[in-house]
Structure 1
Amino acid sequence: MSPRRPAPTGRQVLVMSRYDIRHPHAGDAERYLYEITRHWVAAGTEVTWVTPGAPDAPTAQTLDGIRLYRAGPLGTVARLARDGGRFDVVLDATGGSTDGLPRGAGRSVPVIEVLHRVPRQPAGRLGRFLAGRRSRTERARVALSPSARHDLRRRHRLQGPIFVVPPGTPAPTRAGGERAAVPTIVVDVDLVAEERVDLLLGALPAVAAALPGLRVEILGTGPDRDRLRRLTGDARLAGTVTLHGRATDDDRDRWWRRAWLTVSTADGGGCGSRLLTAAAYGVPSVVLATSGARDFVRAGRTGQVAESCDQLPATLTGYLTDLRDEEVADRAAETCRSWAGRFTWERSAALLAGVVEHEIRVAGSDLARRRSARSDIATLVRLPEGGSVPAGSLRPTDEVVAADGQVSVLLNGCDEVDAVGVLARLGITGARLRLAGHDDLLAGPHPLPPALAGPSHRRPLAYDRG
């Protein structure tokens, strides 16, 4: 069987973002980069992470083998160029501010834009002009879910290859702690405007009136904290909502073990990691039907989806009422843990490593770029019993999973006709294949267990089929 590529071993990777994992404002985007790159470093990749300076932080630091430089992009790359620093690829998580930067580091290298959150508004004409044609048509991008990719296609009209690399989550846990005695919502969130926490606060008076004793514990900090604190001063929320500020890992662990439910009102797809972390603790979710968020909830099994803000109070009240029943709560918790178990940081690191290796290989190749422009198409292959895939025979972006005696393969950039050709080249006969769907792209090619199988809550994605 062809093993999953765990890391771009032997490569030198430059990561650029607004913050690093130690910054006071670091959030889910930084956690995503950190978890993936620390797996890479452990497997032999050299990773340099560049951010602007941070108060009271050293300019240079090594963390878990990752070299951190906090001197701003231009100053850092100039320093690295003087020291002979050369990179094989750039991961741009800054929102596209690295145009032209690779050449400043010594030579032209592939740039992969990591879009942890889909911008709420498309770039205007001036922004598209400044980004340049290459950024719109050639640069590879990474989205965290199929609906986020669809949003980038439809709303932002991005034309280049966009690969889906979902976040991971800690191993599901059962040990220790008891659920709170009263309905308790725990929200671990970056307090920024894009998270739209004010929508949750606006829904809570009706929920609190229907469920006396309701507690809402909000963990996290950010520039929106003062405004949200004023909103919690509403007399109807007295004794209901607490803004705890930045939480330690121990704090989060304690609150997740007490939680009945978590909520996301975000738009733009950056909340997947938090929803999966809650699920790993057996905590279901209520989300608005927005891109990204709805991908990570199995409606009716690991949570509920409110179609609009107007429906949010009734959805929260109804679901919390259902969760008063211990059997319902236990069943939801078990299903949540099963769902979270499909998402690991090892898989995330391997998927992004495949994208990195692919982009390095195809740099400058018109044929390869033409094929990768079909990144939204994928074919799922189930090999016959005893079947295997020769090592090194597939593209770096393909995914092979062997579990329960079944080998499943996700061939990215291939329709059924292409897949037949791939199987013929490998000498594989008797395989079953079909176009990959939403769940295959998100959770991997291995079949979901019965408790999770079946349609999830999602709107049709026009780009599922290319």
Structure 2
Amino acid sequence: MTALDRLARTDLAFLNWRDPSHPDAGGAEAYCWEIARRFAAAGAHVTLVSSRYPGSRAREYRDGIRIVRGGGTFGVYAAAGAHLLRNRHAYDAVVDFQNGIPFFSPLFTPRWTTDICVIHHIHQQQFDTRFRWPLNSVGRLLEKQVSRRVYRGRPVVVVSPSTREGARRELGFGNPIHIVPNGRPGPAPTAAPAGHRSDSPALTVVSRLVPQKRVDLILRAVPALLRRRPELRVDLCGDGPEAERLRKLAAELGVGSAVVFHGHVTEGRKQELFHHAWLTVVPSVAEGWGLAVIEANTVGTPALAFDVPGLRDAIRPGVNGWLLDPGADLADGVAVALDALSTPQARRLAALRCQAWAAAFSWDASAERLAQVVLEDLQRIHRHRRSRRSASDLSVLTRFSSADPDATERAVRSSLRQTDAWKRDGDAFRLLLHGCDEVRALSALQRLDVAEADISLANGHDVLLGTAEPGDGAAAGRAPGRRP
């Protein structure tokens, strides 16, 4: 039985700044919705609390989820707090999505409610790009000092190793931190979208048009790229407050004929444009993950980005794209990538590598991983114990074979933590043990009666993939229970 199955009939509140129908919805909303609807499909009673926008309804049911809207861009925080106070005894768990500023749900819920904070990326430096003093300072205070105090000791979920590092280093969080990556958007990697790969160089860029995404860097690189490859075309998808300024910049640079501004596009059209391109470019100053990277990889298109938080997790150089030094010239980097993709065979091989990488991620797996975090904390609260989990970010990857694999599987299911991962292939086992070093991993293996095993510290990509490996498309096994 999966963790999702075990959460059937529980009452859950998801708090997110926007719902997926909001005009400004982006990757954070996709993450929240894709996971919430899988919780609902498994039988959980899910309420999504988000902001209200012009033309929206205060109450709505969609995909088995009750949507409650209230407040606006900033008023949603008060509306969410009021909702939790009115329904103090209604929810078993609250999943609080921090988009710069969290909802501070522990202030409004009783002590027997599980409160989990989900962080996509750290906004400490980005508050200056949107707010002036004193609001930028207030934002930093709320995200850092106030959040650290309100969520002390509670589980925190992040989407990448970069965000975990930022939560430790920039925010000073000492909480147990779990990594639950984004899933794979769109169709399965084996399903090719309509259309075909362009015979001439083409870039597809999908982004919200806001300052921190730095889409202007792409436009500024186009003149130099056109001098090398006059046939280059750039498809730019997305909308936002920077749209008009970027259109004017394209006209000033004289690249209007090479750049097409598509605005908001449907999922199908986005996949067509990704499949048409040789390359996607993500010039953001930082990301929590790199949703556009995996979207492009799903249809076989590699990505290029700067070596910055989040994007360095989504891109593996030589596998699914290129990473540039933060101070590198973007035009030079794109030119090198286009040269590497200049033959049909090179593009076909790149597509196979990208699709193998994308296949290791799925929203089903992400929902299961978040469900494990929720279930583990619910079990802790119901036992009326303080958490015995280590806040260590070390994880151990171990492989071994068993003479009695059925007995070993039973032992694995009963003795590992809910959030540990395991996979069995015949008599071979692969375990990913979180929050421990090699010494504690050896103790866990002794309880499984495992005499010999390959043990190594897991790296960031190991933790992202769980027990799956690029190309196998396999879902990880999960063990109910816990490890002391």
- Give me the TM-score of the superposition, normalised by structure 1: 0.87
Q: Which residue of 2 aligns with 1:42?
A: 41
Q: CA deviation at 1:65?
A: 0.7
Q: Check if 1:116 corresponds to 2:136.
A: no
Deviates more, 1:81-90 or 1:343-352: 81-90
Q: Check if 1:134 corresponds to 2:149.
A: yes
Q: Percent identity?
A: 33
Q: Which residue of 1 aligns with 2:422?
A: 400
Alignment check: 8 A CA contact 1:102 1:108 kept? no
Q: Which residue of 1 aligns with 2:466?
A: 444
- Which of 1 and 2 has higher RCO (CA within 8 Å, sep 6+)? 1
Distance 2:398 2:292 in 1: 31
Counterpart selection for 1:166 from 181, 189, 194: 181
Counterpart selection for 2:284 from 263, 266, 273: 266
Q: Check if 1:379 corresponds to 2:399.
A: no
C-alpha deviations, 1:13-55, integer Å up to 9, x for none? 2111111011111111000111111111111111111012111
Alignment check: 8 A CA contact 2:220 2:253 kept? no
Q: Check if 1:248 corresponds to 2:266.
A: yes
Distance 2:409 2:377 in 1: 22
Q: Which runs of 5+ in 1 are unaligned?
A: 451-466
Q: Secondary structure at the match of 1:181?
A: coil
Distance 2:144 2:333 in 1: 43
Q: Which residue of 1 aligns with 2:131?
A: none
Counterpart selection for 1:284 from 302, 323, 332: 302
Q: Which residue of 2 aligns with 1:6?
A: 4
Q: Which residue of 1 aligns with 2:324?
A: 306
Q: Secondary structure at the match of 2:67?
A: strand
Q: Which residue of 2 aligns with 1:91?
A: 95
Distance 1:409 1:238 in 2: 53
C-alpha deviations, 1:272-327, integer Å up to 9, x for none? 22211110100000010001101111212211111124332111011112212111
Q: Which residue of 2 aligns with 1:462?
A: none
Q: Check if 1:227 corresponds to 2:245.
A: yes
Distance 2:154 2:218 in 1: 36
Alignment check: 8 A CA contact 2:101 2:143 kept? no
Q: Check if 1:357 corresponds to 2:357.
A: no
Q: CA deviation at 1:82?
A: 4.9
Q: Check if 1:389 corresponds to 2:394.
A: no
CA 1:238 to 1:77, structure 2 compared with 1: closer, same or farther past 3 Å? closer
Distance 1:365 1:133 in 2: 25
CA 1:420 to 1:180, structure 2 compared with 1: closer, same or farther past 3 Å? same
C-alpha deviations, 1:376-395, integer Å up to 9, x for none? 11111213145343234321
- Give me the TM-score of the superposition, normalised by structure 2: 0.84
Counterpart code for 2:33: Y
Q: Secondary structure at the match of 2:182?
A: coil
CA 1:84 to 1:438, structure 2 compared with 1: closer, same or farther past 3 Å? closer
Alignment check: 8 A CA contact 2:49 2:68 kept? yes
Deviates more, 1:6-15 or 1:75-84: 75-84
Map 1:328-339 → 2, pairs under 5 A = 328-339=346-357
CA 1:443 to 1:128, structure 2 compared with 1: closer, same or farther past 3 Å? closer
C-alpha deviations, 1:356-377, integer Å up to 9, x for none? 1222233498975352412x11
Distance 1:79 1:143 in 2: 25
Counterpart selection for 1:191 from 188, 194, 209: 209
Alignment check: 8 A CA contact 1:288 1:306 kept? yes
Q: Secondary structure at the match of 1:417?
A: helix
Deviates more, 1:89-98 or 1:394-403: 89-98
Alignment check: 8 A CA contact 2:289 2:313 kept? no
Counterpart code for 2:450: I
Distance 2:456 2:288 in 1: 30
C-alpha deviations, 1:380-414, integer Å up to 9, x for none? 12131453432343211111223476321111112
Counterpart code for 2:321: G
Q: Which runs of 5+ in 2 are unaligned?
A: 71-75, 127-136, 473-484
Deviates more, 1:411-420 or 1:121-130: 121-130
Q: CA deviation at 1:229?
A: 2.1
CA 1:446 to 1:364, structure 2 compared with 1: closer, same or farther past 3 Å? same
Counterpart code for 1:155: E
Q: CA deviation at 1:343?
A: 0.5
Q: Check if 1:410 corresponds to 2:409.
A: no
Alignment check: 8 A CA contact 1:6 1:43 kept? yes
Q: Secondary structure at the match of 1:369?
A: coil
Q: Secondary structure at the match of 1:153?
A: helix
Q: Which residue of 2 aligns with 1:150?
A: 165
Alignment check: 8 A CA contact 1:403 1:446 kept? no
Q: Which residue of 1 aligns with 2:24?
A: 25
Counterpart code for 2:155: A
Deviates more, 1:324-333 or 1:268-277: 268-277
Q: CA deviation at 1:73?
A: 4.7
Counterpart selection for 1:344 from 341, 346, 362: 362
Counterpart code for 1:313: A
CA 1:104 to 1:235, structure 2 compared with 1: closer, same or farther past 3 Å? closer
Distance 2:256 2:162 in 1: 37
Distance 1:149 1:415 in 2: 18
**Two-structure CA RMSD over aligned residues (Å):** 2.7
Counterpart code for 1:383: F
Map 1:316-327 → 2, pairs under 5 A = 316-327=334-345
Deviates more, 1:315-324 or 1:79-88: 79-88
Distance 1:97 1:120 in 2: 13
